[in-house]
Amino acid sequence: MDYLAETIALGVDSLILAACIKQYYKNKNAMMMIQGAPYLEIDRNLKEIVETHPEGKLSYVSVRGTVKPLGNPIISINNPNVSGVVQLLRIKEHVVQRSTTGFWADSERTIQEVHNVMPFSLETKGMQIEVCDPLAADVLDMDVISDTFHPTVPSVMDHIWGFFAGIRQRGVQSTEKMLRKGTMITGIGELVYAKDGTLRLQPPSNGAPFYLTNMQITSLVKKLNDSKKNYRLLCIVFGTVGVILSGLIIRKYWKHKIELEEEAKRRSQIEESRRERRRRMRDEDLPENQLCVVCKSNPIEIILLPCGHVCLCEDCSSDITELCPVCRATIEKRAVAYVL
Ligand SMILES: [Zn+2]
Ligand SMILES: [Zn+2]
């Protein structure tokens, strides 16, 4: 197909554009929601404020406090002096892989990822808000406690095997991240007054993003705004590419269509001139040997090769494809004959 390359390019471009538009609106909405979320101090009045709201709930607010474990904190496996409330342990394998194009390229895959979580609260001035379901947060900032890379030392056998299998291990990376005890973080989410008399920050039920970040609100809004601007730029770039590709496809289509029309016009002109020639020849009352041997009405127009018989009109020659009707020789080729 003529348009295959352009169509594939347009398809890929549309997918990227759609993803960029989605991200743009996601950032824009998140920014608007965060800007619209009231900031509340964690203090003695907070309980009362939440309690007086309908269903004892504030649908989207931001609070800031230090992380305080409820119970014994998780101790880091790499640094016993560090303790926290959310722990991420990840093991990644780095490989060099032969791609479908034949080149070797670096890639990585996660072999194992484990999260450990324990209950914790955000605290200021002795007042606390319990944080529920921290792993459901859209953004959960954690400190990197340890990040080590163990390179693989390949044997000769590994080299040979790797060459044939198209994959070679470069090494293994193990990472430990933690939300540390005592970190000052901003929580943005739904604040509820639970039946047991505690305040809880949880993922918003209205689908708004849930944040547990060490950034201040202003920095978070700025970051979202920057990201929104970047996605807008990408949308413009990929949108323009899409318009150009569509233009190319439309132009090609029109060109093709005009060519077809011209071809049809040319054919009908040829047909017309042939009919005209036949009519003239019929008027001249052609002798028997100048008439097609099949229909006996049109003049002879086609020469059959290799036998060289000029015995058919063009209409009949399209039905007779195998043997010459005069000498029964196999028809290998045919051409227009000009009989004066
Ligand atoms: Zn004929
Ligand atoms: Zn023949």
Report the Cα 40 to chain-centroid distance in Å: 40
How many Cβ atoms sit within 10 Å of the Cβ of residue 245?
Answer: 20
Q: Identify whether the C-beta of residue 92 lies closer than 8 Å to the C-beta of residue 168.
A: no
Token output for 3 = 């348009």
Q: State the ligand closest to the CA atom of 322.
A: 2
Strand ranges in the chain using DSSP code E only, listed in sequence order: 57-69, 74-75, 83-98, 104-117, 120-124, 127-131, 139-140, 143-151, 167-180, 184-193, 199-202, 211-213, 302-305, 310-312, 333-336
Does the CA dihedral 209-210-215-218 come out positive or negative?
positive
The rounded Å distance from CA 187 to ligand 1 centre is 90
The predicted pLDDT at position 1 comes to 55
Q: What share of the chain is helix, strand, coil (3-state, %, to 5)?
A: 40, 35, 30
**What confidence score (pLDDT) does residue 161 get?**
85
For residue 275, the CA-to-ligand 2 centroid distance in Å is: 25
pLDDT at 45: 83
What is the reported pTM?
Answer: 0.66
CA of 176 to the centre of ligand 1 (A): 88
Q: How far is the CA of 43 from the centre of ligand 1 (A)?
A: 104
Report pLDDT for 340: 65
Query: CATH number of 288-336: 3.20.20.70, 3.30.40.10, 3.90.550.10, 3.40.50.1450?
Result: 3.30.40.10
Q: Ligand 2: distance of its center to the CA of 332 in Å?
A: 11
Task: Return d(Cα 174, Cα 132) in angstroms, integer.
Answer: 28
Q: What is the pLDDT of residue 144?
A: 94
Nearest bound ligand to the CA of residue 310: 2
How far does residue 124's CA lie from ligand 2's centre (Å)?
Answer: 107
| pLDDT in single tens digits along all 340 residues of the chain | 577 888 899 999 999 999 999 999 999 998 998 888 888 888 888 888 888 888 888 889 999 999 999 989 999 999 999 999 999 999 999 988 887 777 888 888 899 999 999 999 999 888 889 998 999 998 899 999 999 999 988 888 888 888 888 888 889 999 999 999 999 999 999 999 888 888 999 999 888 899 999 988 889 899 999 999 999 999 999 999 999 999 999 999 999 999 999 999 998 988 888 778 777 766 777 788 888 898 888 888 889 989 999 998 888 888 888 899 999 999 998 888 877 6
**Residue ranges covered by each domain of the chain:** 1-36+216-254, 38-215, 288-336
Alpha carbons 17 and 322: distance in angstroms, whole number:
57
